[in-house]
Amino acid sequence: MLYNLAIIIYDIAVHLAAPFSRKPRKMMKGHWVVYELLRQQLEKDARYIWFHAASLGEFEQGRPLIEKIRAKYPDYRILLTFFSPSGYEVRKNYRGADIVCYLPFDKPRNVKKFLDLVNPCMAFFIKYEFWKNYLDELHKRRIPVYSVSSIFRRGQIFFKWYGGTYRNVLRNFDHLFVQNERSKRYLAKIGINRVTVVGDTRFDRVLQIREEAKDLPLVELFKNNTMTFVAGSSWQPDEDLFIEYFNQHPEVKLIIAPHVIDENHLVEIIRKLKRPYVRYTRADEKNVRKADCLIIDCFGLLSSIYRYGEIAYIGGGFGVGIHNTLEAAVYGIPVIFGPKYQKFQEAIRLLEAKGGFSIKSYEELKALLDRMLEDEEFLRESGMNAGLYVTDNAGATDRVLNMINFSTRVCFLFPCLKSSGKSFSKIY
């Protein structure tokens, strides 16, 4: 089968790249120990719910569900797997899960070995995770499996004339919890009807993040009740625009949290600044008061920093695509981003709600910021629209939980079902 051949080729490519690149090297090290890690950490007779996320973004979507299940059903254990090192390395010590590890490559032998060890009660695949062999085997073993926060578009392989194999993969899901009505319509056209529109669990997550936001005294001192523009996850094309505006408007302070934090990039940013700045890791109560620009040269603070801004700019829109807009919008401030946002539903909806704004040039950014600075009512209403968009779309996590049977009997029945081939009602 072409799919299995592709997985084998990918596996070989990662092995070949490992000696020369850190990311594939970390992936291979994780794969080498995954089965031994499972043997050591799996509790005998415990009932495991398995969550799989490709990377960090998908994990954040699944996190509200993990934590609500943890709180509501403490008798279950949680297994969390990642495909990408960028997810695993950041969240390998996540306390919301009992075990965190890499997912072995989707080869039939790996799949059977993994499932024989874990024997999960149920499984949740977050957003775009459609691993054929895992889903086939879960289905054969009568293990309930759900797709959460998934979204489907017309151009995906499932809807092509040659996509029959992949359409069958979708039939392995006991239920798909999708983000929008369009996804449900596309799936209905190919005969996939075990579908419910619940929205996006990311709205629940950003509300949770807002509640857990850190107080940052140095940022508070820097702001000093001054109009503050927060630029998050910025890249060089973004910085060229908003730094030029900042240099010409002394009434505004600027906080930059670049997507890439390395010395070369930080030097580039500093070179463009014509007003006093300070790096966060070198800031103190004295020098932070004298600065007009605060450069965040460390990770983990951005989601809390947005609370100190009146206007947010989200980077990436002049490259592959914009980063997380919801982390800023949740604080009730307008969100600005570049022109490449079309693949991001939340950005499209923010535009429609008049809480988000897309710009293509410096001239457009200048006109927009000038209006926000001069028209207090426009600024206030834009921010309110952004905040309401988030709160009005929350609740996906509870809608998912309300439709899933967490009866302990389900898990106890599983060994019998696997041998007998009998089925049972997993949902509704």
Tens of pLDDT, residue by residue over 129-162, are 899 999 999 999 999 999 999 999 988 989 998 8
pLDDT at res. 99: 97
Domains of the chain by residue range: 2-199+396-420, 215-392
Do the beta carbons of residue 51 and residue 81 sit within 8 Å?
yes
For residue 28, pLDDT over 50 is answered with yes
Place of tokens 């940013």: 269
Tens-place pLDDT, residues 320-357: 889 999 999 999 999 999 999 998 989 999 999 999 99
Tens-place pLDDT, residues 171-199: 999 999 999 999 999 999 999 999 999 99
Do the beta carbons of residue 105 and residue 31 sit within 8 Å?
yes
Bridge-based pairing of strands 253-258 and 145-150 is unpaired
Distances (CA, A) of 353 to 109, 382, 385, 392: 49, 9, 6, 11
Task: Name the amino acid, one letter, at 227.
Answer: M
At 26, list the tokens. Answer: 């970390």
Distances (CA, A) of 148 to 84, 267, 286, 340, 397: 18, 41, 48, 25, 9
For residue 286, pLDDT over 70 is answered with yes
pLDDT at res. 340: 95
What architecture does CATH give domain 215-392? 3-Layer(aba) Sandwich (3.40)
pLDDT at res. 297: 94
Contacts of 331 (CB under 8 A, 6+ apart): 210, 306, 307, 309, 312, 387
Place of tokens 């103190």: 284
Tell me the DSSP string of 71-109.
HH-TTEEEEEEESSHHHHHHHTT-TTSSEEEEPPPS-HH
Which of these, 321, 319, 323, 318, lies nearest to 306 by C-alpha position?
323
Do the beta carbons of residue 88 and residue 30 sit within 8 Å?
yes
**Angle value at C-alpha 48, between 45 and 51, nearest 5 degrees:** 165
User: What is the enclosing helix (H) or strand (E) of 392?
Assistant: helix 376-392
pLDDT band for 295, please (50, 70, 90 cuts): very high
Alpha carbons 194 and 188: distance in angstroms, whole number: 9
pLDDT at res. 283: 96
Alpha carbons 245 and 369: distance in angstroms, whole number: 9
| Fold adopted by 2-199+396-420 | Rossmann fold (3.40.50)
Tell me the DSSP string of 219-241.
HHHHHTT--EEEEEEE-HHHHHH
Strand arrangement of the beta sheet that strand 277-279 belongs to: 277-279, 293-295, 253-258, 228-234, 311-314, 335-337, 356-358
At 393, list the tokens. Answer: 């779309």
pLDDT at res. 164: 87
pLDDT at res. 6: 87
pLDDT at res. 416: 35
Place of tokens 């001239």: 363
User: What is the enclosing helix (H) or strand (E) of 52?
Assistant: strand 47-53
Do the beta carbons of residue 390 and residue 359 sit within 8 Å?
no
For residue 410, pLDDT over 90 is answered with no
DSSP state of 281: G
For residue 39, pLDDT over 70 is answered with yes
pLDDT band for 2, please (50, 70, 90 cuts): confident
Place of tokens 């695993």: 88
Tens-place pLDDT, residues 84-112: 998 899 899 999 999 999 999 999 999 99
Percent of the chain at pLDDT above 90? 80
Average pLDDT, the chain: 92
- CATH topology identical between 2-199+396-420 and 215-392: yes
Tens-place pLDDT, residues 230-263: 999 999 999 999 999 999 999 999 999 999 888 9
For residue 422, pLDDT over 60 is answered with no
User: What is the enclosing helix (H) or strand (E) of 44?
Assistant: none
pLDDT band for 401, please (50, 70, 90 cuts): very high
pLDDT at res. 426: 42
Place of tokens 């072995």: 104
What stretches of 274-344 show up as alpha helix (H) in DSSP?
287-290, 302-305, 326-329
Dihedral, 361, 366, 368, 370 alpha carbons, nearest 10: 180
